[in-house]
Amino acid sequence: MEIKNKTAVITGATGGIGREIVKVLSAEGVNLVLISKSNSELATLAKSLNGQNNTYYSCNLADQKGTKKLAEELAEKYKTIDILINAAGIGIYKPIEEAMTEEWNDTLNINVTAGFIITKSILESLKSSKNSVVINIGSGMGVIPEAGRSLYCMSKFALRGWSLSLAKEFKGTKTDFCLIELGSVLTPFGPMSFEEKKKEMESGKAYLTPEWVATKIVEIIKSDDRQSEYKFYPSGYEPNI
């Protein structure tokens, strides 16, 4: 797939992985539609990019009504969308006794429901592309049940099932659905800071870098033979099942 001058929508655009994906796509000449919660961070990111055809929208994806309003606006404005990357995510790691209903709802809304709302709303725009792709950023925690991470695992198991089901539903069409399953990535996502993870890495724990992840994802987007599921785990990070 030739991606120069294509239109890509990216949620979680200012996050550790999302930001790097945006940079690589920008360097490839893609027209970018950036979505994130922080308007100021979006503005700063947009100013750093190549090209003049980039736009951004601030949206709290935990709010279903706000997400739906944004998705409808995207469908109205962009009649053809070639790439959708659902990269927004939240990681709440707590034992069930400490988890709050609001945290459960936020986890489900951001990690799963927002992707559903946006994908469904812009489906006709994706179908109008000669070759479109939806990339869902999953996790090894969508395969590995982990103690103390039930909220996060719940959302990533759900995302995995949804994405793989759609891959079958759209098999043979012009729209591909790809799940990118990641192990530990060197970003401040989750309960540990970037500095804490970097110290662990220096002590021998393996992490994927967001730059490496972004490059691999763009390679998948450009591929003419995309798979429905990709697993990228650092050494020592293997499923227990």
Percent of the chain at pLDDT exceeding 70: 98
Domains for the chain: give ranges and CATH numbers: 7-183+210-229 (3.40.50.720)
Residue 216: its pLDDT value, please? 98
Give the pLDDT confidence of 193-229 residue by residue, as tens digits. 889 998 998 888 999 999 999 999 999 999 999 999 9
**Contact status, residue 122 vs residue 35, Cβ threshold 8 Å:** no
Q: How far apart are CA 189 and CA 66, in angstroms?
A: 23
Residue 219 token pair = 């390679």
> Containing H/E element for 132?
strand 132-139
Residue 123 makes CB contacts below 8 A (sequence gap 6+) with none
**Contact status, residue 18 vs residue 88, Cβ threshold 8 Å:** yes
Residue 236: its pLDDT value, please? 81
Strand partners for 138: 181
The residue count of the chain comes to 241
Q: What is the mean pLDDT of residues 23-45?
A: 96
pTM flag (> 0.75): yes
CB atoms within 10 A of CB 214: 21
pLDDT band (50, 70, 90) for residue 240: very low
Q: What is the mean pLDDT of residues 183-188?
A: 92
Name the one residue in this structure whose structure tokens are 């990641």: 182
Q: What is the mean pLDDT of residues 147-168?
A: 97
More confident residue, 102 or 189: 102
